[in-house]
Structure 1
């Protein structure tokens, strides 16, 4: 049974690709490293966005594992325009996976690219970590967790951790990170 840990980045200073972790986010990254360090992670693949790489850097250093970056793990672009009703528009893309807003990417397109990464890691047989962003993470979780969608996305925290398993009896996902127990 292959295990993939999917991790949402820690608290960041913004949404742009170069946004760094906040002071709180840096402390979360250290806590995250301690939480993940005993799980047998052999490979780390991250979004190239600064906040994602910074979130996993303490673990990579502790495990002496290189952080591989993959463009397919970057956050989904909802639209190139400034949407005043972005929240409602985002919800509509969870309801209609083929809906594409101006300059954006459909849920199906984003799900396909992150699923490619997960599929490649499943075939590798290694215990791996994927570090990414909330929207695209929620789309991947919809393949592993029954009924996971817009409300699941809303419930994600920064950081957040799920373990995805691909066993002979089917795919499953389980949340491991619980802010209340931290």
Structure 2
């Protein structure tokens, strides 16, 4: 049995620089809550998107255990479009309605999902039998979970909180169980 504990990042302070967007004061407080939730769980390693807000959300928990965080580029958030969109809600709904559609300069659901599912498969094969925390982003987590089971859809993504923590248990590469450990 291998367990993946997906942690959606906490609230961040908006900047146009996606990679270096930091947590807000509220987000740092929520990261402490994530640490408290993870204290009850055996953790063999921490992995994260390289985006600062994802790293910061799990950093407190990793520090408390004296563990490093391995950053993996493939777990970064999906790029919705190459430039800011006028109506985010419409833009995100459109890509979920048509998995092959991509806004100019952005990733389709299909492309982002394939990237995320590939990264997950690598983790499952490399760290079989371990419990791994993966700090990532709501849209990518939802797309990865959707690749495993179609019930994790646009509506699931909309219900995710910042942060949110889901534990996925696998037998080999086969999803066996999903448990929500905590939500903000």
Per the normalisation by structure 2, the TM-score is 0.90
**Deviation of the 1:33 alpha carbon:** 0.6
Indicate yes or no: 2:182 matched with 1:177.
Answer: yes
SS of structure 2 residue aligned to 1:60: helix
Equivalent residues of 2:14, 2:21 under 8 A apart:
yes
* 1:140-159 mapped onto 2 (5 Å cutoff): 140-159=144-163
Whole-Å separation in 2 of the counterparts to 1:61 and 1:20: 18
* 1:22-171 mapped onto 2 (5 Å cutoff): 22-123=24-125, 124-125=127-128, 126-167=130-171, 170-171=174-175
**Deviation of the 1:76 alpha carbon:** 0.7
Equivalent residues of 1:144, 1:173 under 8 A apart:
no
Mean Cα deviation higher: 81-90 or 93-102: 81-90
Per the normalisation by structure 1, the TM-score is 0.91
Which structure 1 segments of 5+ residues have no match?
none
Runs of 4+ in 1 over 2 A off after TM superposition: 143-146, 167-170
**Deviation of the 1:121 alpha carbon:** 1.8
Whole-Å separation in 2 of the counterparts to 1:175 and 1:25: 19
- Deviations along 1:31-75, whole A, 9 cap, x unmatched? 111111221111111011111111111111111211011111111
**Deviation of the 1:82 alpha carbon:** 2.8
Whole-Å separation in 1 of the counterparts to 2:19 and 2:155: 25
Equivalent residues of 2:96, 2:154 under 8 A apart:
yes
Equivalent residues of 1:141, 1:173 under 8 A apart:
no
Instruction: Tell me which residue corresponds to 2:8.
Output: 8
CA RMSD of aligned residues (A): 1.7
The count of corresponding residues between Structure 1 and Structure 2 is 179
**Deviation of the 1:169 alpha carbon:** 10
Equivalent residues of 1:145, 1:173 under 8 A apart:
no
Whole-Å separation in 1 of the counterparts to 2:120 and 2:171: 14
